[in-house]
Amino acid sequence: MLLTPGPFHSFNREERNAVAVLFGLLMQADNLERFAGLLDWSPADLVDSEVAVEWTFRRDLWNHHALLGDQDALRADILDTLHPPNRIELESASTLVFNEFFGASPRPSASSIQFPGRWSLRRFDETIIDNDEFLRTCRYKWAHNIKPDLVAMTPSGKVLCIEAKMFSPEGPYPSGPADVAVFARRGLQSLSQTSVQRYLVDELLGLDGTFAFLALTHIDTAAGRSVTWSEVFCALDWSSTPTWVQDWIRRII
């Protein structure tokens, strides 16, 4: 049996736990203002910010309209965003044909426009030949799945988007071997997590995003701003947290 060196916090290395600790701190006193100041984010309505862990805004927005049965709006969103050259045909296509064109998975529906996050890249590789159109479709698909680790959003649409890592590197899109092979065959470069997040916030949602990559050391990414866990925790007040949290933070900084 492996020997336990001490309490879990003394050897825990999970970044989602670190984000949860940070989220808890941001709910206390003026820590959100301190955090925003560290990242030069100063919206006028900062005090009214809503903060979320693993921000699923786009996925849940789609689900909201799907539950309303708003099929025309869902189809229009796809076509208005992607501008496929066969738009006229897709506007009048049956729901089944529409879903088949975009590689709906696991099985194309004949009754409902299906969630883009479940589109199969390998399936629409067969129907979308042009590389630019194909890449637009990939980004749209990925934007429905990506979940920025920590987001603060104001009522006016200002968004502070944080990708947080501890020991893992920034992930690429695509990631699965079969999808990577499709990109290689087409001669396309993979996209980073933070570039897909920037597309999600600024382009797809039309919000005003500020982006940062939070890690143990400074790392250059498409987020454009690098900040360390040490810098963040040193900027915040964690004096009233439980002893184990304070011990964990001291281990990080």
Question: What tokens were used for 143?
Answer: 């934007």
Residue 219 lies in a domain: yes
Q: Same structural domain for residues 96 and 206?
A: no
* Tokens representing residue 31 in the block: 């820590």
- DSSP result, 188-240: PPPEEHHHHHHIIIIIIS--EEEEEEEESS----TT--EEEHHHHHHHS--TT
77 found inside a domain:
yes
Same domain, 48 and 160: yes
Give the DSSP letter of residue 117.
G
Domain stop point among 146, 175, 195: 146
Quick one: tokens of 72?
């025309």
> Nearest Cα to 244, choosing from 24, 47, 16, 49?
24
| 51/102 same-domain check | no
Shared domain for 166 and 78, answered yes or no, is: no
Residue 150 in 3-state DSSP?
strand
Does residue 123 lie within any of the structural domains?
A: yes
One domain, residues 165 and 251: yes
pLDDT of residue 222: 86
Whether 142 and 228 map to the same domain: the answer is: no
> Is residue 138 situated within a structural domain?
yes
Burial classification of residue 2, based on how many CB atoms lie within 10 Å of its CB (0-12 exposed, 13-18 middle, 19 or more buried): exposed
3-state helix, strand, coil in the chain (%, to 5): 50, 10, 40
- Long-range CB pairs of 82-89, under 8 A, 24+ apart, other chains included: 82/133, 82/136, 82/137, 82/140, 83/136, 84/128, 84/133, 85/130, 85/133
Entry pTM? 0.94
Which pLDDT tens digits describe the chain residue by residue (253 residues)? Answer: 999 999 999 999 999 999 999 999 999 999 999 999 999 999 999 999 999 999 999 999 999 999 999 999 999 999 999 999 999 999 999 999 999 999 998 899 999 999 999 999 999 999 999 999 999 999 999 999 999 999 999 999 999 999 999 988 899 999 999 999 999 999 999 999 999 999 999 999 999 999 999 999 999 988 889 999 999 999 999 999 999 999 999 999 8
Instruction: Please count the residues of the chain.
Output: 253
Domain annotation covers residue 76: yes
Domain end (from 111, 146, 181): 146
Helices (H) and strands (E) in the chain, counts: 12, 7
Residue whose C-alpha is closest to residue 74's, from 90, 85, 88, 86:
90
Tell me, yes or no, whether 245 and 173 share the same domain.
Answer: yes
Total domain count for the chain? 2
CA-to-CA separations, 49 to 44, 46, 124, 174, 195, in angstroms, rounded: 10, 5, 38, 32, 23
